Amino acid sequence: MPPSLFHRCTAETFGTFWLVFGGVGSAVLAAGFPQMGIGFVGVSLAFGLTVLTMAYAIGHISGCHLNPAVSIGLMYGKRFPSKDLLPYILSQCVGGALGAGVLRFILSGKPGWVLGGFGSNGYGALSPGGYQLAACMTIEAVLTGFFLLVILGATDQRAAKGFAPMAIGLCLTLIHLISIPVTNTSVNPARSTATAIYAGAPYLHQLWAFWVAPIAGAIVAGVFYHRVLAERETPPVKVEPLTFEAKS
């Protein structure tokens, strides 16, 4: 019996909790600690590992989307039913917010703690490298689009079985290696929302960009894969019966 919608949404909630807690946690707890922490290379790897581990843990239950943009892109790629889209997105946002909330509580256990940006995403003055809106939206859209292409390709029926989580996890690692200096890397509206609600008004005011750009990139990739790269059904060849005319 296939998992019910309740079980799938529960898996998405816990999976997105893990993505935010593990990925953002590596950034705010370990990236610069004590003076030579894991750096942004380590943070990039941490985000990839959260998706890789959850893909093996819940991929067979919910598909392990953990990301509203991924769910929307899969819907446009004809891999996900539209009737399940809203419950998935709500579950992902709740899971992300819970993960960020637990992480914030842990951070508050240190005397003199300061929340700061809390690993949130931003452009302009809130961009780690000072990149402006157009550049930030472009990189978010492009990287999310390629992320969707990797997901769709790695989970295609024609792809090698059992390797999809590794391809997807490593792709997310690469995405973070590219874009942490630009936007602090979103490619995931649930992840951006989870940290922005705790980081405060400046990040909440810019949150719209980290919904619009990833979703736009995901839609383009989903449509492109379905129309161009997806396997086409080959119509059966009609074989005419052989006939022999009797010679007079």
Residue type, 229: L
CA atoms within 13 A on the CB side of 123: 17
Q: What digits encode the pLDDT tens for the residues 67-105?
A: 999 999 999 999 999 999 999 999 999 999 999 999 999
The pTM of the whole model exceeds 0.85: yes
Distance CA 92, CA 86 (A): 10
Q: What digits encode the pLDDT tens for the residues 129-164?
A: 999 999 999 999 999 999 999 999 999 999 988 999
The percent of residues in the chain predicted with pLDDT above 90, rounded, is 86
Distance CA 112, CA 248 (A): 108
Q: Which domains does the chain have, with CATH numbers?
A: 5-107+118-228 (1.20.1080.10)
Whole-angstrom CA distances from 74 to 63, 185, 196, 210, 211 are 10, 21, 25, 18, 16
By residue count, the chain amounts to 248
| Cβ contacts of 161 within 8 Å, gap of 6 or more | none
Residue type, 34: P
246, 130, 243, 140: which is closest to 191 by C-alpha? 140
Residue type, 25: G
| Cβ contacts of 93 within 8 Å, gap of 6 or more | 16, 68, 189, 190, 193, 194
Residue type, 119: G
